[in-house]
Structures are given as C-alpha cells and as structure tokens.
C-alpha cells in the first residue's frame, strides 16, 4: 500500500522572512509558490519526490502572530555526525545561531534554531530507531 504524502501547513505574517530559515538554513527547495488564491499567498518547501513538504501561507488582512510556545518543534534526526555538522554549518551560513531549547533534552545531542515567527527546529545528532 502506498504511503500518504504529509503536508505540514501553517500561517505566517511574512513569507519572505521565512525563506532564509527553511530554504537556506534547513536546505529545502521551493517547490511551488502561489499568490491571490482565495485571498492567500503561499510557498511550499521540501525535497522533490519526498513524501512530505511544508506549506506557509499568508492571508490578506489576517494576523497569524508568533508561535504559541517555545516547544513547537520540527525535529530532524541526523544519525551521522558529518551530516549533522553540515546541517549546523548551513544554518550558521544562513545567519541563524542556536537558541537554548525549552526542553533540555534537545540540547544533549542537538541544537535548536528559531525561525522569524518563533517556531523552532531541532537538528538532532541521533538515530531515529523507532
């Protein structure tokens, strides 16, 4: 049976401000952009042919605001140290410095970064073995 495609979607007040974090820092490609679709603009980021992508939208006249807590996370597992180091360097090159994690568990084997909307991504140097 074919597995479903996952889309993680959330609103933002500034699409352009998010691009350096997700495209340049986390290394996702811009897959699609749209404007004026029923009052929304948006951008989808991911990797071509991957079974997941991220969609960020902005609605005219609506304020999305910031993340509700510092524990709203995307977690990316890097089992190999070299891949993790490259991901951390890419974030630094894009201008993002690590922040202290709300949950200290993530600071043990990873680094947490915050996007312009206050949502966070953890680069975890560990294998996902579940």
Range of the domain at 89: 73-124
Residue 81 binned pLDDT confidence (cut-offs 50, 70, 90) = very high
d(Cα 93, Cα 15) in Å, to the nearest integer? 20
Examine the domain organization and report whether 119 and 80 are in the same domain.
Answer: yes
Question: CA dist 9 to 51, 53, 92, Å?
Answer: 14, 9, 25
Measured CA angle at 52 (ends 72, 56), to 5 deg: 55
Q: Mean pLDDT score of the chain, rounded to an integer?
A: 96
> What pLDDT, on a 0 to 100 scale, did the predictor assign at position 85?
98
How many structural domains does the chain have? 2
Q: Are 30 and 45 in contact (CB under 8 A)?
A: yes
Residue 1 binned pLDDT confidence (cut-offs 50, 70, 90) = confident
| Residue listed under structure tokens 């200290």 | 104
- For residue 10, tell me if it sits in a domain: yes
Tokens in use for 23?
Answer: 């495209």
23-59: pLDDT as tens digits: 999 999 999 999 999 999 999 999 998 999 999 999 9
- For residue 66, tell me if it sits in a domain: no
Whole-structure pTM value: 0.94
- For residue 1, tell me if it sits in a domain: no
CATH code of residue 113: 3.10.180.10
Asked whether residue 130 carries a pLDDT value surpassing 90, the answer given is: no
């Amino acid at each position: 049976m074919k597995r479903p495609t996952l889309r993680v979607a959330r609103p933002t007040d500034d699409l352009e401000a998010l691009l350096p974090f997700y495209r340049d820092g986390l290394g996702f490609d811009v897959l699609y952009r749209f404007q004026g679709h029923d009052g929304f603009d948006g951008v989808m980021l991911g990797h071509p042919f991957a079974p997941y992508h991220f969609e960020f939208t902005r609605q005219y006249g609506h304020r999305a605001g910031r993340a509700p807590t510092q524990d709203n996370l995307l977690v990316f597992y890097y089992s190999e140290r070299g891949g993790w180091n490259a991901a951390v360097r890419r974030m630094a090159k894009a201008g993002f410095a690590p922040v202290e994690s709300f949950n200290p568990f993530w600071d043990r084997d990873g680094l947490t970064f915050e996007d312009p909307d206050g949502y966070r991504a953890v680069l975890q140097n560990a294998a996902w073995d579940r």
